Amino acid sequence: MASDIKVRFRSFLPGAGFDSSGNAKQGKTRVVGAISVTSYAPGAEVVSARDLGLTTIDAVNFRVADGTGDPSGSTERKALYDKSTSGFYLVLVGDSGNTNEYALAATETVEFEATGDSAHDVELT
């Protein structure tokens, strides 16, 4: 697994958030960017909240930049997130619905949009 993460956009969401206990919390952020996967290893590409400029991830979406697998459109490329492992899987979905994980050392560009607690937030004590 090798990847290069680039944050392209960061927007602070004032007064819009809650912590995990449901209490109002400042410091929520929306982050958008791209991940260049240079050598995928089957079994998930791990991405931590810190990698995305966050301390916690409330919601995240990953998508393959070039989702069509070929000009005929018979194969779709997807990035499926697994919250329990904090990683995404790169899979090929055929027109019959069958799913296969990418082969070892595959390359891909994956775009992401994540919302959570900002790693750039000021901690008050």
Mean pLDDT calculated for residue range 67-82: 80
Contact 47, 25 (CB under 8 A): no
In this predicted structure, what is the pLDDT of residue 47? 93
Mean pLDDT calculated for residue range 11-15: 82
In this predicted structure, what is the pLDDT of residue 73? 66
* Mean of all residue pLDDT scores within the chain: 85
Structural tokens at position 107 = 């390359």
Residue 73 makes CB contacts below 8 A (sequence gap 6+) with none
pTM higher than 0.85: no
In this predicted structure, what is the pLDDT of residue 125? 44
Is 111's pLDDT higher than 90? yes
Mean pLDDT calculated for residue range 2-21: 81
Write out pLDDT tens, residues 40-59.
Answer: 988 889 999 999 999 889 89
67 falls in which pLDDT band (50, 70, 90)? confident
Annotate 8-53 with three-state secondary structure.
EEEEEECCCEECCCCCEECCEEEEEEEEEEEEECCCCEECCCHHHC
Biggest CA-to-CA distance, the chain: 58
Is 11's pLDDT higher than 60? yes
Mean pLDDT calculated for residue range 14-37: 82
Mean pLDDT calculated for residue range 93-100: 83
In this predicted structure, what is the pLDDT of residue 96? 79
Q: Which residues of 32-42 are buried (b: 16+ CB within 10 A; e: fewer)?
A: ebebebeebeb
In Å, what is the CA distance from 54 to each residue of 13, 37, 95, 103?
13, 20, 36, 30
CB count within 10 Å of CB 18 equals: 11
Strand partners, 104: none
Q: Please state the φ and ψ torsions of residue 50, each to the nearest 5 degrees.
A: -60, -35
